[in-house]
Structure 1
Amino acid sequence: MFERILVPTDGSGPANAALEYAGEIAAEEQVTVHVLHVVDPDEEDDADELLAESREWAGGTDATVIDEKRTGEPRKAILEYAANNGIDAIVMGTRGRRGVGRLLLGSVTESVVRDATVPVLVVRGASEVKRRYPFETILVPTDGSVHAEVALERALAIARHDDATVHVLSVVDVTPAAIDDRNDLRLERLENYARDVVDDAIAAAEKSSVDTVSTVQYGSIDKQIRTYADEIDADLIVMGTHGRSGLDRLLLGSATERVLRTAKTPVLTVRASTDDRAAD
């Protein structure tokens, strides 16, 4: 699935949860974990001690660990390290409902999720979060955009590797349109589009010989994603992003942020390439 996994760390609980999870994946797949600590040039450098502790968290799973230190702005350093070292996935921890880790969340994680050319796996450090591997049940929310299609392709590849089931979810969000009547013609159009989207996704999955389930839900996008993920006991949520132009229109802005911060399931974000976006 992945060959080189990068875990940026600041020594916080969420970062350690990400390290442990990445270590479990790496040990199962026999791949390498790169642990990166970015040092602020204006702060005291405690990187050596922090990296030693981080090595223990990831190495406790028998994964191969490489630890590195860089000085500079975290976002830039993380992306440059990933590009220069053949990294094919970044794993980052989140603090959850009350905010973000001082290095790994907030603007840094949002910018890494937005700008990374490789998938970013975001996992909360809370005890309620299910961090299981190999994956058995994968959820892909979709709106039919090229970004959602790229996320589906990644999910199908993971499912083939792990022999997992993929659930395709389309959410009819009636709130922005102030639709409160089930007979409203606008709702019918939204429903028809949502069903077409999941049907197209199922057709793509069948070509990949992956077991799939489709559903259309109604309500707030982020709440329905979290609720459905809990209902099916999902091991992973896979979501597409737009990159610099913003987050996927289905999963836009605050909705994606809320999923990342509150989901009880790790979330893998996948960015569409420039060529993919041009074809949309």
Structure 2
Amino acid sequence: MYDQILFPTDGSEPAESILEYALQIASEHEATIHVLNVVDTSHASLSGTQDDVDDALEQEGTEIVNEAARRATERGVTAVSEVLHGDPSEAIVEYGTQSGIELIVMPTHGRRGLQRFLLGSVTERVINTADAPVIAVNPGTQPLAYPCQELLVPTDGSRGSELAVSEGVALANATGATLHLLHVVETGSLGPDARSLSKEEELTTRADEIIADAIEAAEAATVDRIASEIEFGVPSREIRNYIDTHEIDFAILGTHGTTDFSRYMMGGVSAKIVRTSPVPVMWVRDPDSTGE
């Protein structure tokens, strides 16, 4: 399913903890893992000449990727290592495009080079601009195990979530995981009539249609085990509740869309899910959308 996997790393403890998970994914899919370190020279120390700083950072980066590649080789995973200079998010996305990367696995925070940005701009920019799906993993997530057993795909019927459902269907078939389909009707901004009978019926009808379409796609692909649910409330909260209640160990979300749910995806929902999710989250971007 995935032949080329990219793992950006700064050699920090958070990144090291996610490397093992990335290697599990690569091993399961018999993929090549590309280990990338980005020397962010614009944020380098001002001591010494710039060339000296760049050389020191590149040497450190080389040691980091070589060590990660060694660990991959020990596990029987083919590894490619690379050190680049430039803006971290741009370098990650460009490398992914040029190298035919099919999946990016990255921690939500780290230290030098990528560290100041991973929690916010780098991870979210990569999610918003990469051609390949991006798995963002909170380093505090324990235990991490792949392949997943209980796979959640929240859907809102948008193009982005349709792509997430397709990815979830393929992954469920590849791993044998149970596919959970969830639609959250976001009621917080619908006004005082949100719970009126007519509005309730309208939202419920639309929710039923969205879930039915997702189930149909999963059944057409002969997914063995499918579960579905509709919830009303705050999307990030309902997603987290579902993860906890159903012992979800992996989630897939689309990054852009047009409905009440999806307009929060790279705002409140994504900020909360990316930074606090107790499970790895794969983000799938609509290639026709523009990153923010």
Q: Quick check: 1:140 aligned with 2:153?
A: yes
1:73 aligned residue: 87
Once residues 222 and 173 of structure 2 are traced to their aligned partners in structure 1, the CA distance between those partners, rounded to angstroms, is 8
1:12 aligned residue: 12
Q: Shift of the alpha carbon at 1:255?
A: 0.8
Instruction: Specify the SS of the correspondent of 1:70.
Output: strand
Q: Quick check: 1:255 aligned with 2:246?
A: no
Q: Shift of the alpha carbon at 1:137?
A: 1.4
Q: Is the 8 A contact 1:118 1:270 kept in 2?
A: yes
Q: Percent identity, aligned pairs only?
A: 39
2:240 maps to which of 219, 222, 226: 226
Instruction: Specify the SS of the correspondent of 2:219.
Output: helix
Q: CA RMSD in A?
A: 2.3
Q: Quick check: 1:107 aligned with 2:103?
A: no
Structure 2 CA distance for partners of 1:22 and 1:140, relative to 1, 3 Å: same
TM-score (norm 1): 0.88
1:40-64 per-position Cα deviation (integer Å, ceiling 9, x unaligned)? 2352312123223433554554422
Once residues 109 and 192 of structure 2 are traced to their aligned partners in structure 1, the CA distance between those partners, rounded to angstroms, is 35
2:190 aligned residue: 177
What does 1:7-156 correspond to in 2, within 5 Å? Answer: 7-42=7-42, 43=44, 44=53, 45=57, 46-56=60-70, 58-59=72-73, 61-95=75-109, 101-126=115-140, 128-156=141-169
Q: Shift of the alpha carbon at 1:235?
A: 2.1
2:49 aligned residue: none
Moved more, 106-115 or 248-257: 248-257
TM-score (norm 2): 0.84
Moved more, 260-269 or 172-181: 172-181
Unpaired segments ≥5 residues, structure 1: none
**Which amino acid counterpart does residue 175 of structure 2 have in structure 1?**
D
Q: Quick check: 1:197 aligned with 2:210?
A: yes
Q: Which has the higher helix share?
A: 2
Q: Is the 8 A contact 1:89 1:120 kept in 2?
A: yes
Q: Is the 8 A contact 2:62 2:82 kept in 1?
A: no
Instruction: Specify the SS of the correspondent of 1:106.
Output: helix
**Which amino acid counterpart does residue 202 of structure 1 have in structure 2?**
I
Once residues 269 and 4 of structure 1 are traced to their aligned partners in structure 2, the CA distance between those partners, rounded to angstroms, is 17
2:174 maps to which of 145, 153, 161: 161
Q: Is the 8 A contact 1:142 1:149 kept in 2?
A: yes
Instruction: Specify the SS of the correspondent of 2:116.
Output: coil
Instruction: Specify the SS of the correspondent of 1:87.
Output: coil
Q: Is the 8 A contact 2:250 2:281 kept in 1?
A: yes
Moved more, 176-185 or 16-25: 176-185
1:145-194 per-position Cα deviation (integer Å, ceiling 9, x unaligned)? 11111110011011111122111100112111245874443233222211
Aligned length: 268
Instruction: Specify the SS of the correspondent of 1:251.
Output: helix
Q: Is the 8 A contact 2:33 2:78 kept in 1?
A: yes
Q: Shift of the alpha carbon at 1:253?
A: 1.2
Larger radius of gyration: 2
**Which amino acid counterpart does residue 25 of structure 2 have in structure 1?**
I
